[in-house]
Amino acid sequence: MPATSYFITGTDTEVGKTVVTCAMLRAFVAKGARAVAMKPVASGCLVNADGGLDNEDVLAHAVAANVAAPRNLANPYAFLPPISPHLAAREAGVAIDMDHLVRCHGELRELADVVLVEGAGGWLAPLDESRTMADLAKAMNIPVVLVVGLRLGCLNHAMLTEEAILARGVRLAGWVANRVDPHMRNADDNLAYLQSHIAAPLLGVLPHHPGLHAAPQATVSIEAFRSEMLLDKGFGVDRLG
């Protein structure tokens, strides 16, 4: 049976997609699922001791997951400069192959019960001059989990992103609120507004955490995630479908 799979996107860059992906991985692992993550395209990498490229998001995924996936599947495209993936690919003389990404995702689904695909940037972050992360999620034919960074402007960003997701004919399975700004005024009022205006369920609220991977063990307890809404006892059966 093919794995349950979700595409993790955000209202912007640096809203905590990786923190959410890792917390979700831990939640699914705690429920007994074989869970793995995929970062289709990663820029802003470091050269490792073997001369290859490591991305901190990909490394964090590997710690949180319980399936050891080959790097060429978990992160098919890796680039050195911390710039938009389409620019990094262009500088490297690489054409990102959408079909290849879809195939890699399909192979990961044969290895696990749950596959979480973390996009780069926001929903419309470009892969090349004509395709975006939205096109990739559509090509993979999987529902989306939206990470909303709670900070000034989040209402507009969240509602625009929800509208854009639905306009692509992609299902929004749920959303996660991340308190990226600990000093945000009326944060709970903003959260309440989003709950009343986003039709998809709120899956969790993450407390503020200083730094992207500040808590290697688990930035949030698994109880913070309503993962039972995304995965049933059979693993591989999408409850929200």
Distance CA 179, CA 15 (A): 9
Question: By CB neighbour count within 10 A (0-12 exposed, 13-18 middle, 19+ buried), where does 6 fall?
Answer: buried
Please say if 39 is a catalytic residue.
Answer: yes
Distance CA 1, CA 90 (A): 37
Phi and psi for 10 in degrees, rounded to 5? -140, 165
Phi and psi for 6 in degrees, rounded to 5? -135, 145
- Tell me if 184 sits within 8 A of 151, measured CB to CB: yes
- Tell me if 88 sits within 8 A of 43, measured CB to CB: yes
- Name the catalytic one among 17, 31, 39, 138: 39
Tally Cβ neighbours within 10 Å of residue 68: 10
Distance CA 158, CA 194 (A): 8
Q: How many CA atoms lie within 13 A of 234 on its CB side?
A: 6
Share of the chain residues as helix, strand and coil, in percent rounded to the nearest 5: 35, 20, 45
- Written as six digits, the tokens of 25 are 């991985």
Q: Which residues are catalytic?
A: 39
